[in-house]
Structure 1
Amino acid sequence: MNKTDIYKFIPGILLILIISIAAKLLGGLFPSIGAVLFALLIGIIIRNSFELNEKYNIGIVMVVKKWLKVAIILLGATLSFGSILDIGAQSILVILLVVTGGIAVTLLVGKLMKIDKMLALLIGVGTSICGATAISVVKGVVKAKESIVAYAISTIFFFNILATFLYPVLGQWLQLSVSQMGIWAGTSIHDTSSVVAVGYLLGDEVGEVATTVKLVRTLFILPLVLAISFIMVRRNDSAQSLKGAFPVFILGFLFMSGMYSTGMISEAMSGYLGSIAKFLIVMVMAGVGLQVRWKSIHSLGMKPFLAGFIASVFVGVTSLLFILYIL
């Protein structure tokens, strides 16, 4: 990457940085709302109140896609291997239920409502595993049309933003414990960015649980791609898709956790890296807000929108009931 390419990112990054600093100040004044939600709100207001020059987009996209992964890797330095294994063991059954049930329900609803099969599959995958990331990976296997992919991502994006605002309120109203709230957020909110944001909005312990659960859930992309490839008998595509499906940043998360578990990262350094990660999360949510276009969301048809709503409710309620009455 040459200097000219690097300069292209600067306008978007600077805009996000300004929003994030303002969000941190407001979050300090109104801690019950927090910097994360302020960053998201300010981003949404700016995107829908002003005509942003295209020069901002490349930096915004880079922050949302790349810096979130950096934040997650750094968060690994705040968790020991023992904690990761314990959280993973607690959540694996509910993750399996949410992933398989969420996809099945969406496909069934899609069939009943006569929605395009490919669109229903992508909405189900995005709801059940990890939002736009899962949709993009599965797209490579099934070769869905770009218009269908955009439709599915827009549907998922709307309910993901809604969950970012609702889950903290519902979690406190239901008086969920740290573990319960973390597992609920990690198993039912769509995109990783919102899972991490909601978790750390409610405290470091909730954030650690939510992030770990979400990363375990993200790994379900691999068996899903294998299953779809097998069903469609497309072996040539599956090898390429699997390579792209593996979330490499999880290895970075585990590496940092290993460094922390063995004492190579001190408690002081762990706290410092955790603080950097949390600010990066605020920046990512500012970027997410700057990608919200109400006109695009408003243009969605009611049937796919309703399918996304049913899938989101199923995943959220199923996960919550499992946590409350089985875990």
Structure 2
Amino acid sequence: MQTDFKINATTNKFQRFLDRRISTRELVFLSLVVLCLSPLITPPMALFLGIIIAQFVGHPYLHLNHKATHILLQISVVGLGFGMNVQTAIHAGKQGIVFTIFSIIATLTIGYLLGKIFKIDKKSSFLISAGTAICGGSAIAAVAPVIKAEEKQMSVALGTVFLLNSVALFLFPMIGHSLHLSQIQFGIWSAIAIHDTSSVVGAASKYGTQALEIATTVKLARALWIIPVAFGATFLFKNKGGKVKIPWFIGIFILAMIANTYLPFVQMCSHTITLIAKAGLTLTLFLIGCGLNRKMLASVGVRPLIQGIVLWIFISCAGLWAVMSFV
């Protein structure tokens, strides 16, 4: 009897869901989701549409947005691995590793000093610095539980990073073309200087196929620095019980790349998989834009935003000088 009651209750809930009328806001949102999966929408355009939705329409499923973007980004990045070659990735990783090490150490150091100068609370300052130094929102999400950051501190850091990501997605390809950067130079520079993997891939895919391959490889190698930085944070903040989130999807990305390099039957469908992955990343950027509403932007505050901008300008200019001088 109890089982029948549960089944009937579930059926009634599902029926009520089917009978519910879709609001205009939901219809607009879902229509744009479908549109972003088509070749008609570029990554920057998807982000711009998302920001418009956030400001004037509203995200009808905002409570699900963070989890959706997190999962969709990881799946899409793994999909890109099916379009890459191991030898090319190793070569790109070797070129980017020196820039990666120096830029991470310098960014964390300068971020610490700026936090002191602007009198930003220690945890917010460290989250902004880690997000700028490594891989944006993923680094913040991994480090926050380790240092036991509060929701407000996470919101400040994420808001700062996502806002600057939006600017970078439009600005970086323009700068790259104006300075006549090669595909290799732009790929390394964008991986170093743009915070989130989604925006790195969006900017690099607009610049060219080779830039996309190099940028993705260097950025994911950079993302592995989440682990030592997170472990270091446990001692810095004296939270020895903090749990470190290891980005396992990077391992799956490497397996996908190996499969594409050595398995002929994988190579036969790699083009289709990468096209789907790129559509997934375009949708990810749309959803990120949808999350940039007024409330989230207002939570950032002036001083943390200044810290984020100064750090971003430093790593962008230093990275640009390095790739133009040595690559």
Tell me whether the two structures share a fold, i.e. TM-score over 0.5: yes
Matched, 1:18 2:31: yes
Q: Specify the alignment match of 2:257 in structure 1.
A: 257
Deviates more, 1:265-274 or 1:138-147: 265-274
Aligned CA-pair RMSD: 2.5
Pairing partner for 1:122 from 127, 130, 133 = 127
Q: Is residue 16–residue 60 contact of structure 1 (8 Å, CA) maintained in 2? A: no
AA paired with 2:203? Answer: V
Mapped partners of 2:188, 2:154: distance in 1: 28
For 1:186, the equivalent position in structure 2 comes to 191
Q: State the Cα deviation string for residues 239-287 of structure 1 (Å, max 9, x = none).
A: x32xx2x111111111111111113444431111111111111111111
**2:48 aligns to what?**
41
Shift of 1:59: 5.0
Q: Does 1:150 align with 2:155?
A: yes
* Alignment of 1:229 onto 2:234: yes
CA separation in 2, counterparts of 1:230 and 1:61? 28
Instruction: Give the length in aligned residue pairs.
Output: 310
Structure 1 spans left out of the alignment, 5+ residues: 29-33
Q: Report the Cα offset of residue 82 of structure 1.
A: 0.7
For structure 2, the residue ranges without an aligned partner over 5 or more in a row are 1-9
| TM-aligned CA distance change 1:132 to 1:23, over 3 Å | closer
The aligned counterpart of 1:268 is: 268
Which residue of the partner structure matches residue 79 of structure 2?
74
Task: For 1:282-293, list aligned pairs within 5 A.
Answer: 282-293=282-293
CA contact (8 A) 2:127 2:140 kept: yes
Identity %: 29
Once the two structures are TM-superposed, the CA of residue 306 in structure 1 deviates from its matched residue by 0.8
Partner amino acid, structure 2, of 1:19: L
Q: Quote the offset at 1:300 in angstroms.
A: 3.2
1:40-90, Cα deviation, whole Å (9 max, x unpaired): 11111122112443xx22554343111111111111111111111111000
Match of 1:220 among 205, 225, 231: 225
Distance 1:178 1:146, change over 3 A: same
CA contact (8 A) 1:106 1:120 kept: yes
- When residues 167 and 43 of structure 1 are mapped into structure 2, their CA distance, relative to the original with a 3 A threshold, is same
Aligned to 2:301: 301
Distance 1:301 1:52 in 2: 22
Residue 117 of structure 2: aligned partner: 112
TM-score, normalised by the number of residues in structure 2: 0.87
- 2:126 aligned partner, one-letter code: L
Compute the TM-score of the two structures, normalised by the length of structure 1: 0.87
Q: CA deviation at 1:196?
A: 1.0
Based on CA coordinates, which of the two structures has the bigger radius of gyration?
2
